[in-house]
Structure 1
Amino acid sequence: MTTGSATRPARERLLAAAGELFYEQGIAATGVDAVLARAGVSPSTLYAHFPGKDALVAAYLERRHRVWVQTWDEVLDGRTDPAERLLSVFDALALYRAREGSRRGCAFLAAATELPAGHPARAWLDADSHLLAGRLRELATAAGLDDADAEDLAAALLLLYDGALARWARDATVADLAQGDPLARARGLAADLLAARLPARS
């Protein structure tokens, strides 16, 4: 079965197929032949666009990263309350999950366990980590915290964010999560943390 219409550009079909298979089955477990079959293209077409599987993996993570940035930007747009701007990371993740699906949790966390040092796709794992830590730190600073407190708050929020993703991946096969949606719970804990840590505003 191919991904999408045969009229779509071959590179787009390859990325869509790779995105589905790498996410659903894992990067190491997915061979190039499976991607070719789902995309409905020949090996020569693949190698006309990508030098090999490593480059395809990098392009897959780059694509997910760009969609994630766009989603977070969309949620942030128009928010002025400092706490709500910090909580936007959880709301953006909920929106991303609704649009893209997240049956196995975070693609970047999953890839981090599979990709060796020096793999070209590691640049996008680093980009995702830097985006999360850097933006949360900037938002905390804009909320009135000094550098040290902003760094500490950003780290705490990241623990809640990563914990929610890890819990979601662990419970992904459970139809009805016994403890509720871990992302909603993480957002609630984050809101309590911000109420205690952010400077009061008149």
Structure 2
Amino acid sequence: MAPLDPDTARTRLLDAAEDLFYARGIQAVGMDDIRGGSGVSLKRLYSLYPAKEQLVEAYLQRRDVRWRGRLAAFVEQVDDPRERVLAVFDWLETWFREPGFRGCAWINGHGELGATSDVVAGLAREHKRAFADYVAGLVREAGLPEALAPQVFLLAEGAMVAAGILGTAAPAAQARAAAEALVSASAA
């Protein structure tokens, strides 16, 4: 069997890391678990990611790009700018219903390692700032007051936490109803 090229090995490792870290938690997964899940040798794994923290960093960075891309693609399908703000919650509900949903990877990672890993804490902050900026852009495009943006952001974040802990998609609809009331009051 021919050795894997670095890009293929990296993809397999990140796929396995994403599945395992998200399902079981970062600290519960060892590098040998990643090796087994990816089919990549331990030697190759350590040549690409000499430390687990580097693999965690790559996992969170790749997941960020995918997560924000999926959200934006969903929201962009909505024509009305005010409805785009609310579409964030529709997308969250879709995400919460996915098999294996375990909450927000950055909240989970920060909860596990935020106190001991500057890398994980920094990536969690970057992800949340980018999401807050995205929501602020939607609020601005809808011609709504700027002060509404952090409120909508917090509703979305609260829905993520509640859905992850309670194991139900209901918080998305509940947060959407609250956001809709805020949008209506702000537009009046």
Q: Which has a greater percent of helix?
A: 2
- The residue that corresponds to 1:34 in the other structure is 33
Structure 1 segments, 4+ long, off by >6 Å, are: none
Using the TM superposition, give the Cα deviation of residue 19 of structure 1 relative to its aligned residue in structure 2, in angstroms. 0.6
- The residue that corresponds to 1:120 in the other structure is 119
Structure 2 spans left out of the alignment, 5+ residues: none
Structure 1 spans left out of the alignment, 5+ residues: 1-5
Distance in 1 between residues matched to 2:11 and 2:61, nearest whole Å: 13
Q: 2:179 aligns with which of 190, 193, 202?
A: 190
Number of residue-to-residue matches in the alignment: 183
TM-score with structure 1 setting the length: 0.80
Using the TM superposition, give the Cα deviation of residue 127 of structure 1 relative to its aligned residue in structure 2, in angstroms. 2.6
Using the TM superposition, give the Cα deviation of residue 117 of structure 1 relative to its aligned residue in structure 2, in angstroms. 5.7
Q: CA RMSD in A?
A: 2.4
- The residue that corresponds to 1:138 in the other structure is 137
- The residue that corresponds to 1:155 in the other structure is 150
One-letter amino acid of the counterpart of residue 185, structure 2 = A
1:54–1:119 Cα contact (<8 Å) kept: no
Distance in 1 between residues matched to 2:94 and 2:70, nearest whole Å: 7
One-letter amino acid of the counterpart of residue 181, structure 1 = A
2:159–2:171 Cα contact (<8 Å) kept: yes
1:55–1:121 Cα contact (<8 Å) kept: no
Distance in 2 between residues matched to 1:51 and 1:98, nearest whole Å: 35
Distance in 2 between residues matched to 1:167 and 1:23, nearest whole Å: 17
Distance in 2 between residues matched to 1:12 and 1:68, nearest whole Å: 17
Distance in 2 between residues matched to 1:91 and 1:29, nearest whole Å: 32
Q: Deviations over 1:98-118 (max 9, x none)?
A: 56x453211111111122465
Distance in 1 between residues matched to 2:107 and 2:116, nearest whole Å: 15
Q: How does 1:40-79 map to 2 (within 5 A)?
A: 40-79=39-78
Q: Deviations over 1:27-71 (max 9, x none)?
A: 112111111111122111102222211010011111111111211
Change (3 A) 1:118 1:79: same
Distance in 1 between residues matched to 2:95 and 2:57, nearest whole Å: 20
One-letter amino acid of the counterpart of residue 154, structure 1 = A
One-letter amino acid of the counterpart of residue 177, structure 2 = G
TM-score with structure 2 setting the length: 0.85
Q: How does 1:18-33 map to 2 (within 5 A)?
A: 18-33=17-32
